Amino acid sequence: MRYFEVAARHGSFTSAAEELDIGQSAISHRIRLLEEQIGYRLFKRSKRGVKLTDQGEFYHKEISAAFERIVAATRQLNPDVGSSVVNLTVTPFISSRWLIPRMQEFSSSNPDVSLKLSHSEERIDSDMLKGNLDDQVVISYRRTVPPNWTQEYLFSVGMVPLCNPTLLPSGKTALEPADLLTMPIAHEKDRRWWTEWFDKAGVGFGPVPDGPVVDAPMLLIDAALNGQAVVLAPPALFQDYLNAGLLTAPVGDNIKIPIDYFLMLPTNREITSGVRKFVKWVRSQSIEMN
């Protein structure tokens, strides 16, 4: 029944196999045995995947409720049971520059908790997540909260122009916002961030200056480090590069675009002690950013 519940929840034998750490063929075999036992087909199988039958929908609803009651009863007796894994979904940028440099501190203080990281820039919903909802944590700048999830503000970072000092005109260490109109710039995904920044700076210029559009923030930083372009990025996350003279903020950091990051947790769930430990730690780390 457990194999069926996981496969039905994901709508995929492949995803079920990943969560249970077994082969897909084993999932298929166990579900066929279950179908023979109860006398109904639970999934419609096709080349495009699997889909629950009417009987499968009914059965999944009933056994899911039963499994949740078992888990809840077990955790009332011992809250630490099954709490060793935290499935964390986080945006790649904040993971690379903020979370991962701090992870050893968390792991050293909480050796019983294992973090499993997944990275996504997309809007998060429950169907995208691997594992049980009780173990799920999301850190994202997305303001849209999925149904049955709660959102908590963590911290804000301000994006300002950054570049390699060698890109500045000879003899200059500081520029005016309008000076950037004549310099190479690079964009993240589209031109809206630079459009917003020039508007905040009070520079009226018409269309945003052209430049390469990159879909990953860390690749933008590579372009800046290599002296190829001015980019928008938060100096708070690149203080090491600024201190080493590899990057500079040519117009200062007074004009910035704030990006808020949020902690998201499923509501109406009995979260594990591992999640509670991680959330407490993340809150303490976010204080340093505010």
Question: Would you list the domain boundaries of the chain?
Answer: 2-77, 81-290
Helix-strand-coil split of the chain, %, nearest 5 = 45, 20, 35
Q: So what's the pLDDT on residue 250? A: 95
The CATH code belonging to domain 81-290 is: 3.40.190.290
Q: So what's the pLDDT on residue 191? A: 84
Tell me the three state secondary structure of residue 154.
strand
Report pTM: 0.68
Phi, psi of 166 (to 5 degrees): -70, -15
Q: So what's the pLDDT on residue 142? A: 77
Tell me the three state secondary structure of residue 44.
strand
**Region for 40 from its dihedrals, namely left if φ exceeds 0, alpha if ψ lies in -120 to 50, beta otherwise:** beta
* CATH number of this structure's domain 2-77, picked from the four choices 1.10.620.20, 2.60.40.10, 2.60.420.10, 1.10.10.10: 1.10.10.10
Domains 2-77 and 81-290 share a fold: no
Q: So what's the pLDDT on residue 40? A: 92
pLDDT in tens, the chain (290 residues): 888 988 898 888 888 887 776 888 889 999 999 999 999 999 999 888 899 999 999 999 999 888 878 877 876 787 656 557 898 999 888 999 999 999 989 988 888 788 888 888 776 655 555 556 678 899 998 777 777 888 999 999 999 999 999 999 888 888 999 999 889 999 988 888 999 999 999 986 667 788 888 888 888 999 999 999 999 999 999 999 999 999 999 999 999 999 999 999 988 777 788 888 899 999 999 998 87
- The gap between the terminal CA atoms of the chain, to the nearest Å, is 47
Beta bridge partners of 264: 138, 151
Q: So what's the pLDDT on residue 127? A: 56
Q: So what's the pLDDT on residue 268? A: 72
Tell me how many degrees the CA angle 157-104-215 measures, rounded to the nearest 5: 40
